[in-house]
Amino acid sequence: MSSSDSAFVGFLSAHPVLCDGAMGTLLYSKGIFINRCYDELNLSQPELILGVHQDYLHAGAEVIETNTFGGNSFRLARHGCADKVREINLAGVRLAREAGKSFQALVAGAVGPLGVRIEPLGKIAREEARDSFRQQIEALVAGGVDLLVLETFGSLDELHQAILAAREVNPDIPVVAQVTIDEDGSCLDGSTPEVFGPKLTDWGADVVGINCSVGPVAMLDAIERLRQVTTAPLSAMPNAGMPRNVEGRNIYLCSPEYMASYARKFVAAGVRFVGGCCGTTPEHIRVMKSAIRVTNAKKTPTSVSAQNKMPSAIQPVPIQNRSRVGEKLAAREFVTLVEIVPPKGVNPAKEVEGARYLKSVGIDAINIPDSPRASARMSNQALCLLIQQQVGIETVLHYSCRDRNVLGIQSDLLGGYAVGIRNLICITGDPPKMGNYPDATAVFDVDAIGLVNIVRNLNQGLDVGGNPMGNAAAFVIGVGANPGAPNLDEEVRRFEYKVEAGGEYAVTQPVFDLKLLETFLRRIEQFRIPVLAGIWPLVSVRNAEFMKNELRVSVPDSILARMASAANAEAARAEGVAVAREMLVAVRGEVQGAQISAPLGRYSSAADVLEALGGNGHKAAAVV
């Protein structure tokens, strides 16, 4: 069949169009393990792919999708096939064409997500994502597909890049844009049908729809909502129900007759493209074919209701009104934090008493790290809450990306805000291999830059996906900085991205080399935010050597010599405090605050360092 728009439009206007079902389900049933690269089978086992296409065509499918769902450079790289993007996609089109040569069927080029997160939550730039989609789509179009099906996208940002890539390759090729949803009908980035429907329409999708994720019931509910907010033709390709684990295998249990009954309901709701996703077999498609043959599409209103227009973001609360720390930052007053590490057990009494003592000597807030060096400790969020409730001093919560996916991040932060946590330092987190459980699994859904973007969204009343929540958080957003980073250019570049993402103040790694700090501050002058210098009172020469050689903190040889010259442990502690006091005095005019550590839980050492500012002198205005 011709690959012109007219063929596609003619198909669409004549009657509801039946698409094929799952490719992966059939390949798995034929003994192909899930760790294989299914797209590469276009090259190594073409007869297998050809047979699947023919099974669906004989069942009555009018559109078959190429076996190229994962045919982008990022997914193929996992299997060592990144250099075969064009070859695999061209082969996918060729096999679908060969299978369909005796049938009046269209060939759709299947394009799935990249399998990596893109900005603002991930490290992959939008342009890089678009380039990858473009590379795949160029091959599909060169092979002669009739249309493109962009499917199973959980992120609207990523789907937008795929649509843009398709239009760059061929402005006239028909594009079906499909998201995947949860049981509430929302895209996996939180976008509701009332949000993603108008967006996909505005971005130029010819057909807007939903596939995968859920069974027919939840998808029909979402389709009915989608129909009210877009005039574009709709598509629906549900799974054959939710998978059930039967003797170690995930089995989809919806019968062909059940799927067929919902195919009729989809068509009655205005869907023009009907098919199936995971768990759907040729037998499902055969019965669905009979069902929609006797069903006429129901005419439904397509105007966008006024109440469905997307609300705008909420204006963030001014930083000075969010917390006492935010107030001092806004007033350019010198801010003092002391770090208290959570205990390894269940008793936080020592840490709570330490916070009470530090409050008495005038510290502004208690900074609580998140399992530093990947150690297993009490939740720092729980300790923040205990200290705020029992001591009455503000806390600063270190929040790392290591142990949480984006859903857990949003859940944690909303809960933390509800119980009174207002100050954050957003960090990527140390990998588990650094800690006492090196075999633990890290998550790292996002890094510190993506985390800052999430918190900024929450401060604007938007969820992880940028969708309105109805009300806003009011966090003061801190970020980390390392003036002694081996690659300072990279550190400065990432720091700039953190500021662009929404960082409002920074806390540095421990400072022992003033020249490094001064150089860093000069480098960030164009995007300067308040900087709090890390101050660490060393406790021994071994502590100094550990900092320098294992944590890679720049500790000058002169300081190592001073620590080594101490006659005993008490003298070494006193010398460490003296060094820290000198650092604090030296940086005071360059930064807007200090975070003072308390090694080994010696909170009195932190207070001794603070005395270098002179009584209540730390409350004086800073020079910025």
On whether the CB atoms of residues 100 and 128 are closer than 8 A, the answer is no
Same domain for 414 and 385: yes
Amino acid at 116: V
On whether the CB atoms of residues 438 and 432 are closer than 8 A, the answer is yes
What is this structure's pTM?
A: 0.70
Residue 14 has pLDDT above 70, yes or no: no
261 falls within a domain = yes
313 falls within a domain = no
Same domain for 390 and 366: yes
Greater pLDDT, 4 or 605: 605
The kind and range of the H/E element at 489 are helix 488-501
Can you tell me the mean pLDDT for 171-181?
95
- Say whether the peptide bond before residue 432 is cis (omega within 30 degrees of 0): no
3-state SS assignment for residue 261: helix
Strand ordering across the sheet containing 207-211: 17-18, 271-274, 234-237, 207-211, 175-179, 147-153, 106-111, 63-65
Same domain for 366 and 284: no
Domain that holds residue 83: 5-308
Same domain for 388 and 452: yes
CA distance 268 to 475: 47
**Band of pLDDT at residue 255, cut at 50, 70 and 90:** confident
Tokens of 91: 């082969």
Same domain for 347 and 443: yes
DSSP bridge partners of 517 = none
Same domain for 496 and 394: yes
Same domain for 408 and 304: no
451 falls within a domain = yes
Which residue, 380, 398, 310, is CA-closest to 344? 380
The kind and range of the H/E element at 412 are helix 406-418
Q: How far, CA to CA in Å, does 115 sit from each of 73, 76, 129, 152, 330?
A: 10, 10, 10, 11, 41
**Band of pLDDT at residue 252, cut at 50, 70 and 90:** low
Give the domain CATH number at 156: 3.20.20.330
pLDDT at 89: 97
**pLDDT tens, 480-517?**
999 999 899 999 999 999 999 999 999 999 999 999 99
3-state SS assignment for residue 481: strand
pLDDT at 371: 72
314 falls within a domain = no
Residue that terminates a domain, selected from 308, 339, 366: 308
Computed over every residue of the chain, the mean pLDDT equals 88
Greater pLDDT, 9 or 368: 368
On whether the CB atoms of residues 553 and 547 are closer than 8 A, the answer is yes
147 falls within a domain = yes
Give the domain CATH number at 459: 3.20.20.220
DSSP 110-160: EE---SS-BTTTSSB-HHHHHHHHHHHHHHHHHHT-SEEEEEEE--HHHHH
Can you tell me the mean pLDDT for 180-192?
89
On whether the CB atoms of residues 80 and 133 are closer than 8 A, the answer is no
3-state SS assignment for residue 493: helix
Same domain for 328 and 283: no
Same domain for 95 and 69: yes
Same domain for 514 and 369: yes
The kind and range of the H/E element at 434 are none
pLDDT at 4: 45
pLDDT at 407: 82
Residue that terminates a domain, selected from 308, 332, 362: 308
624 falls within a domain = no
591 falls within a domain = yes
Residue that terminates a domain, selected from 287, 308, 329: 308
CA distance 574 to 566: 9
Residue 306 has pLDDT above 50, yes or no: no
pLDDT at 310: 46
The kind and range of the H/E element at 12 are helix 5-14
391 falls within a domain = yes
Can you tell me the mean pLDDT for 429-447?
62
On whether the CB atoms of residues 67 and 23 are closer than 8 A, the answer is yes
Can you tell me the mean pLDDT for 296-304?
40
On whether the CB atoms of residues 287 and 259 are closer than 8 A, the answer is yes
Measured from the Cβ of residue 46, the count of other Cβ atoms closer than 10 Å reads: 16
Number of domains present in the structure of the chain: 2
Backbone torsions φ then ψ of 572, nearest 5 degrees: -65, -40
**pLDDT tens, 124-144?**
999 999 999 999 999 999 999
Same domain for 385 and 262: no
Same domain for 234 and 162: yes
Q: What is the DSSP letter of 210?
A: E
CA distance 470 to 125: 29
**Band of pLDDT at residue 302, cut at 50, 70 and 90:** very low
